[in-house]
Amino acid sequence: MKKAILILLLAPALAFAQKPVKPNLNKVLNFWKDGKLKEAKEMVDLAENDPKLSLDGKTFYYKGLVYASLDTTSNEEFKALATEPLATALAAFEKADGMSKGKEYFIQDAVGLPQLKSQQMLILANFYLNQGANAFQEDDFDAAIAGFKKTQTIIPDDSTAYFYGGYAYYQKEEYQTAIDQFKIYIDKGGKSPDAYSLIINTYSGPLENKEEALKWTQTAKTAFPADENFPKVEIGLLIDLNKIDDAKGGLESAVAKEPENKILHFYLGYVNSKLEKWEDSKANYTQALKIDPAYFDAQYYLAQIYLIDAEKVKKEMNNLGITKEDQKKKLELDKLLVEKYKIALPYWEKANSMKIDDATSRIEVLDKLSMMYYYLGEDGKAAAIEKTLKELGVDN
């Protein structure tokens, strides 16, 4: 009899111990806010399967928050609670949106202010964008791409992650995929000329498709009419493709329509120099400088032309042997080289007197001046140039 009573006494206790946990959305939210992701996951999984709560959009909104946290947490124990938690989170968010009846979900932050779901999605997207950027800085391009892809999935209409994704694929030498990413960036409203430049450079270089590079250069010219680089690239590509008439003819027509446009005169000078029509090129650069005497690029390229004859003489001297005839010829060429340097020098001095924004160009101007001053025996001026070069970090 005592044994039967004991069993009866234990029965209510066993029944109580086996009572199922009742899902509660407030508990889900509180567990999540407190960082108790294991408990939050267990509770929201129960809520999803509850006959009543499965009809409440907030259940899936909270599930999205919980599973997104499982994906972003650095806690390995929490990470092990789910496979592909981000995909689960995004699916839950999508289902919640379908049940929202046009209202946006929100939670209250630590100070009681509402934080909208759209704000949370932006925070989540930026988390992965920063994660990708940090990996990129460490040259871990696979991890970078993984982060950028997650950002693209969360906010597919935002262009930024496609721009960075293009850079990462470019670094991996997956050039066509890089171009595809940049094209999506542009299609989604991206405005950076760098995206166009990288598409052009990739087609022109690694993919060896200069025709496609030319098409994109012309597209870029239309998109960025004030950019001075794309027309130069177009001219170079036209020349590489042996479309000289297109390059020169188009520029001549443009100059006729805009005779006071210094840039057009400059580009025409550039084309003529590529065609080795040096006198025409000189005239074009000179006209550009008449329009704008402070136009450094025109002065720089004009100065370069005046060194061509000198370089030819110098090369001929260097190829001479040690015979008496060669030595006699070398003396004659030396006098000629001095004359050529004297002709070129004023153009380089004028270039040096201008405002030079590009450090590489400034160093080259100084380097050329140093060489000519030295050869012409102007030691004081040569020493002054050398001092300036050292101040710029150039040690000759």
Half-sphere exposure of 172 (CA within 13 A, CB side): 18
One-letter amino acid identity for 335?
A: K
Task: Note down pLDDT in tens along the chain; length 396 residues.
Answer: 444 444 434 444 444 455 677 999 999 999 999 999 999 999 999 999 999 999 999 999 999 999 999 999 999 999 999 999 999 999 999 999 999 988 999 998 877 788 899 999 999 999 999 999 999 999 999 999 999 999 999 999 999 999 999 999 999 999 999 999 999 999 999 999 999 999 999 999 999 999 999 999 999 999 999 887 898 888 889 888 988 888 888 788 888 888 999 988 998 998 898 888 999 999 999 999 999 999 999 999 999 999 988 888 888 888 878 888 878 888 888 898 889 889 989 999 999 999 888 888 889 999 999 999 998 899 899 899 898 888 888 776
Q: Which phi and psi angles does 209 have, rounded to 5°?
A: -130, 80
Separation of alpha carbons 323 and 300, rounded Å:
39
Query: At a CB cut-off of 8 Å and minimum separation 6, what does 150 contact?
Result: 86, 125, 128, 132
d(CA 39, CA 69): 13
- Name every residue whose Cβ is closer than 8 Å to that of residue 265 and which is 6 or more positions away in sequence: 255, 284, 285, 287, 288, 291, 298
Q: What is the DSSP string of 122-166?
A: HHHHHHHHHHHHHHHHTT-HHHHHHHHHHHHHHSTT-SHHHHHHH
CA of residue 295 relative to chain centroid, distance: 29
pLDDT tens per residue across span 44-93 = 999 999 999 999 999 999 999 999 999 999 999 999 999 999 999 999 99
| DSSP per position, 173-232 | T-HHHHHHHHHHHHHTT---HHHHHHHHHHHHTTT--HHHHHHHHHHHHHH-TT-SHHHH
DSSP-assigned letter for residue 293: T
The pTM of the full predicted model, rounded to 2 decimals, is: 0.66
Q: What is the DSSP string of 297-364?
A: HHHHHHHHHHHHHHHHHHHHHHT--SSHHHHHHHHHHHHHHHHHHHHHHHHHHHHHHS----HHHHHH
Cβ atoms within 10 Å, residue 8: 9
108 Rama class: left (phi>0) / alpha (psi -120 to 50) / beta: beta
